[in-house]
A and B are shown apart, each in its own frame.
Chain A
Amino acid sequence: MEEFAALIDALVYTRSRNEKLRLIAEYLRATPDPDRGWALAALSDGLDFPAVKSSTIRNLLKDRIDPVLWTLSRDFVGDTAETASLLWPAPEHPPSPPGVSETVELLGAMNRKSVLADLPRLLDRLDPSGRYALLKLATGGMRIGVSSRLAKTAFAQAFDVEIDDVEEYWHGLQPPFPELFAWAAHGEDPPDTENLPTFRPFMLAHPLDETVVDLADYAAEWKWDGIRVQLVRAGGGGDAQTRLYSRSGDDISATFPELLDVLPVNAVLDGELLVRGVHQGGEEGGAASFNALQQRLGRKTVSKKMLAEAPAFVRLYDVLILEGEDLRKLPWTERRARLESLIDRLPDSHFDLSKVVEARDFDHLGEIRGGSRDEAIEGLMLKRKDSPYIAGRRVGYWYKWKRDPLLVDCVLMYAQRGSGKRSSFYSDYTFGCWDGDPDQGAELLPVGKAYSGFTDEELKKLDRHVRQRTVNRFGPVRETDRSLVFEVAFDSVHESKRHKSGLAMRFPRIHRIRWDKPPHEADRIAALRALIQD
């Protein structure tokens, strides 16, 4: 357990993704089976020990130290497991610490009654770091900034195997994943996953930028503003399982349970997850804006109310595998034909098809793109008609052609330091627009915040500007003298109670820094408000 605890501690204090990968990979290489398998499970999907709850830990501690002192300590630390790890009255001569496998075995054997005697015995054998790792492991949520995908990537790195293969073999295997280690670490045959609902890496698109394509070779589709998902059903008869994956390969099935029993065939489908809501205008409606979808993201459980108010559906782009047949090598036109015939077999409550956009030529397509006012549309996708479905981003096959951003001129008001390698730079900017005529005493009201869109050179200049033009400090935030204008690009603007201006931008970024422009010539709130699309 000491090595695992040291790994957890090191991960807590590491912000760099590469360093996290290196730490986990090093641990996985150095640790024997099956300890490393349990550790990998804890770092990725988590382990479940129903007998150990946060309240169990709290009660054990309140039996051992004064409840008032417990509560004061817990409030200060802000985390039950950590507080308990620090406050546990350790015996003077602790027995030898358990290994990871022994710990998992003991935790797994506990029930709601025996936990009250068995968990203390385990805690007695560990130091504070070990107790922290144990309690985090036992209650499921590590919360140390390691996603499931990151843990799998570290596994691939540790044994020099392909992450796509790891993803493909992962699901359906049970911790401590002996088959996975046998394959990756010991060179044995890969696990058999044909009948398992595993994730297949997405095909991605390049930005179109200045490229012009011939519509004889490319088909156009709307690019919808939801989240890209893969819906997978696999397995025979009554054992069929359906899973929903995000673009990063994380399993988000639990967040959208309404999609788990509506797919009647075994298939791997690529599409955009949207929620139904108020029609936002345009011909292709039926989906609410991204704002509505955001309410449902990141939840582990979903209330009935939420399911009723914002039901999810998938707008299909592509089919990768259908009833056991791998279609990924076929040209897009053929996969599209299979998808169009498949859609008739799917319930329209949960599925529809992302329509192909017809245009006479490229210029005409540009006009259609310019005229799209549906809020659920982010732009266009251009797909070469003969393109196979290939993991990752390949030049020449797929392009994304986003709607032109909206632009306003705003004035820099506040700046905050960034994190990671930007931690010494003022790189997060809050900017505002005038609430009337600036020459008649109008004020600036904040309308958004951005931390991208500039080069490293520009960042240095901006950092200098902030330091020289500071008029006030509030902790990590500096208020500037409001002398610099940003041309801010954003995808859309909405009503919002978060800002005093009553407006919030989506995807704001610095488009140009207008060192030349006097601040009183920046835009007014009214101009920004006029850009709201309803």
Chain B
Amino acid sequence: MAAPFSWIKPDPHGIYVEPADAWVDPSKPVALALVTHGHADHARGGHGETVATPETLAIMELRYRTGAEDDAGEIPHRAIPVEYGETIRLKGGVDATYIPAGHVLGSAQILLEHAGERIICTGDYKRRADPTCPPFEVTPCDIFITEATFGLPLFTHPPIADEMAKLLDRLAAHPDRCVLVGAYALGKAQRVIAELRAAGHVAPIYLHGAMEKMCRLYEEHGVELGELRLVSDAKKDDMRGQIVISPSSALNDRWSRRLPDPITAMASGWMRVRQRARQRNVELPLVISDHADWGELTRTIQEVNAQENWITHGREDALLRWCQLHQRRARALAMVGYEDEDD
């Protein structure tokens, strides 16, 4: 009989599931990829077969077919959809179950079962409520493979309602300017829009062209975003007193010259640190993240209560230290290619 858990092999390019010859979120092209969610660093193109939720597959298809994203990927050769809660049997006696991760539309934890052993790969996740996707489900397992993007005790994401109030207050104080919010084009932008709607903001929201198709995709999947307009179709004066959303890369770009005296905001967990906000020339930092903060990471490790915790990417040193202090077995995996600058 094989040694416990010898069927799963962490590799710099992803988690390799040997009996199934499958990879979780591989950063290189493989024959069979199990993809947790649609962010480009986890969902690369060029694989033979891709197993993911229907939403994630739709996101991948949109990104790689339209060329809207600056990514080298291609359309998956064969897309295999798996609904939340559904289990798919892979070769070599491996079962894969997709469980909500609460990160973005379609995001899933992948539960892998083989020879009576259970391993969960979280991909990216958060524990806060998000109107654009179902919440993270705590699922018992033997090995819990977690992210650690915000794995430092200083990261506490404030309630999102507070950040929305900050944004709307600033908007009301400057009726002749606009507030330009830099937000990740997949997930963060739609969540901010949905939260603004929940806060009672009914005015049209103006979008950078790179946001449009993803917002439409969210709407097709039942996420209501209200009236959206394109900046390219608008006159400068129409946007006074309005909210504009763009990728953060466009915040200080010449694209923003067409806006009426924008107040630069950015929606990101990194905005908790003043110097990070200053480096990006941000005047209105909004601490909004789709990743678990320190409290969520440590609470999740306790609730899942796995025998062992593996940490994929982020600030793994501190989370490793926390596990050590709390007598929990943990190891850091050296993974390449997972980016988190704009989250």
Contact = CB atoms under 8 A, between A and B. Distances in A.
Given A13-B284, A15-B281, A87 B154 contact: yes
B315 interface: yes
A15 B264 CA distance: 12
Interface in B225-248: none
A66 B154 contact: no
Interface residues of A, number: 25
A78 B275 contact: yes
Nearest to B152: A73
Nearest to A83: B154
Nearest to B283: A13
B9 interface: no
Contact of B277 (A13, A68, A79): A13
Contacts of A68: 318, 321
A82 B257 CA distance: 33
Interface in A32-89: 65-66, 68-69, 72-73, 76-79, 82-83, 86-87
Interface string A108-144: 0000000000000000000000001000000000000
A59 B174 CA distance: 43
Given A13-B284, A424-B253, A72 B275 contact: no
B256 A86 contact: no
Given A15-B281, A77-B154, A423 B252 contact: yes
Contact of B153 (A12, A79, A87, A132): A87
Given A68-B321, A425-B254, A82 B315 contact: no
A65 B315 CA distance: 17
B260 interface: no
A14 interface: yes
Contacts of A72: 152, 315, 317-318, 321
B153 A424 contact: no
Contacts of B278: 12-13
Contacts of B254: 424-425, 463
Nearest to A67: B321
A76 B281 contact: no
Nearest to A15: B281
Contacts of A511: none
Interface in A188-203: none
B154 A73 contact: yes
Contacts of A82: 273-275
B325 interface: yes
Given A13-B283, A82-B274, A424 B318 contact: no
Given A13-B277, A13-B283, A86-B154, A73 B256 contact: no
Contacts of B321: 66, 68-69, 72
B273 A13 contact: no
Interface in B267-288: 272-275, 277-278, 281-285
Nearest to A464: B254
Nearest to B321: A68
A417 interface: yes
Contacts of A12: 274, 278
B322 interface: yes
A65 B285 CA distance: 27
B: interface residue count bin: 20 to 34
A14 B285 CA distance: 11
A419 interface: yes
A419 B255 CA distance: 16
B301 to A, nearest CB: 15
Contacts of A132: 274
Interface in A421-473: 423-425, 463
A419 B317 CA distance: 34
Interface string A220-234: 000000000000000
Contacts of A86: 154, 156, 272-273
A87 to B, nearest CB: 5
Contact of A79 (B256, B257, B275): B275
Most B CB contacts (10 A, CB to CB) among A66, A68, A69 go to A69
A51 B315 CA distance: 34
B236 to A, nearest CB: 15
Nearest to A66: B325
A65 B318 CA distance: 12
A73 B318 contact: yes
Interface string A296-324: 00000000000000000000000000000
A250 to B, nearest CB: 23
Given A15-B281, A66-B321, A68-B321, A73 B275 contact: no
A77 B272 CA distance: 10
B252 A417 contact: yes
A77 B273 contact: yes
Interface string A9-24: 0001111000000000
Contacts of A14: 283
Given A66-B321, A72-B152, A87-B154, A419 B275 contact: no
A425 B253 CA distance: 8
Interface in B165-181: none
Contacts of B272: 86
Contacts of B285: 13
A534 to B, nearest CB: 41
Nearest to B324: A68
Contact of A424 (B252, B282, B283, B325): B252
B154 A76 contact: yes
Contacts of A65: 153
Contacts of A13: 274, 277-278, 282-285
A87 B154 CA distance: 5
A132 B275 CA distance: 13
B4 to A, nearest CB: 30
Nearest to A85: B154
29 contacts: A12-B278, A13-B274, A13-B282, A14-B283, A66-B325, A68-B318, A68-B321, A69-B152, A69-B153, A69-B322, A72-B318, A72-B321, A73-B318, A77-B154, A77-B275, A78-B275, A79-B274, A79-B275, A82-B274, A83-B154, A86-B156, A86-B273, A87-B153, A132-B274, A419-B281, A423-B281, A424-B255, A424-B256, A463-B254
Nearest 7 Cβ contacts at the A-B interface:
A86-B154, A423-B252, A424-B254, A72-B318, A73-B154, A13-B283, A68-B321
Given A72-B318, A78-B275, A424-B254, 18 more contacts: A13-B274, A13-B282, A13-B284, A14-B283, A15-B281, A66-B321, A69-B321, A72-B152, A72-B321, A73-B154, A73-B318, A76-B273, A76-B315, A82-B273, A132-B274, A417-B252, A419-B281, A424-B252
